[in-house]
Amino acid sequence: MLTPVHRWVWSDAKRRVDKLLRFGETETDGGRDILRAAETTSDPLLRRLYLVHAIDEHRHGELFRRRGAALLRALPPHSKPAFQAVWLAPGGHGLDDLNVDEESDDAWLAFLHLSEKAAASRFTVYRDVMQDDPPTRAVFEEILHDEVFHMNYTLVQLARVSPRRHRGRLWRARLSRLWKGYLRLATAAAGVVGGLLLTIQYFVLLPPFAWLARRAERRELRGWTPVSRAGGDSLTRQY
Ligand SMILES: [Fe+2]
Ligand SMILES: [Fe+2]
């Protein structure tokens, strides 16, 4: 349904470059979190899978950055920064929402599964709207292949680690993501409302002060004003 919107978002060359470079950072950051999860887990199989996963995410970061840099070199000089439309076309996995050190294996796996699922569905749309740019489309295609594997192995491992509670864990992770999404939306809305109120204040409250200042300026004498000698010897006042 949102395909035309995504087509518009990715149609701007400068925005495409910025997005790819930002996606590169997000993938690498996500890889670091997963590497941390590999260090903290006591499950040997999970550790192996997390290491493979972290290497994948690091490679995704490289792929996005390399493609972004290639497109950046092809941009005309002094290209204007475009509106980023982060809300319309977000990237990455949203792994920043969870502190790896404080989570159990099953909570982390549930969260990871949902994040990978979200990334896979986004990248599918981005790949599909990239018909005019085969190399970028190929990057999304390659990354999408890995994201589908990440999405599947996390679910299988969640069911293995927590056979009885894995559905509950998934629901908890879903609600947590929903809540974080609401908080992000509320923060963005607060920023817009705050900006609007300050603009209204600027145009409603400042004009009377400007008018008073102009009136006071008209009463001021022009040029140099002679100062009487009497009382001019104070060390604390000018006159
Ligand atoms: Fe990735
Ligand atoms: Fe992934």
Structure confidence by residue, pLDDT tens digits, 140-162? 999 999 999 999 999 999 999 99
Going from the Cα of 149 to the center of ligand 1, the distance in angstroms, rounded, reads 10
Going from the Cα of 160 to the center of ligand 1, the distance in angstroms, rounded, reads 23
Contacts with 153 (C-beta within 8 Å, 6 or more apart), sequence order:
49, 53
Going from the Cα of 117 to the center of ligand 2, the distance in angstroms, rounded, reads 9
Q: 44-69 burial by CB neighbour count: b if 16+ within 10 A, else e? A: eebeebbeebbebbbbbbebbbebbe
Going from the Cα of 147 to the center of ligand 2, the distance in angstroms, rounded, reads 4
pLDDT band at 107 (very low <50, low <70, confident <90, very high): very high
* CA 19/CA 96 separation, integer angstroms: 18
- Give the number of whichever ligand sits closest to the CA of residue 123: 1
- Give the number of whichever ligand sits closest to the CA of residue 154: 2
> Which is higher by pLDDT, 239 or 10?
10
- Give the number of whichever ligand sits closest to the CA of residue 92: 1
pLDDT of res. 102: 81
The model's pTM is: 0.75
Encode pLDDT of 24-73 as tens digits: 999 999 999 999 999 999 999 999 999 999 999 999 999 999 999 999 99
Q: Flag whether pLDDT at 239 surpasses 70.
A: no
Q: What is the CA 77 to chain-centroid distance, rounded?
A: 26
Q: Flag whether pLDDT at 125 surpasses 80.
A: yes
- Give the number of whichever ligand sits closest to the CA of residue 151: 2
Dihedral Cα 189, 195, 198, 199, nearest 10 deg? -130
pLDDT of res. 59: 97
Average pLDDT of the residues in 161-167: 92
Going from the Cα of 57 to the center of ligand 2, the distance in angstroms, rounded, reads 6
pLDDT of res. 58: 97
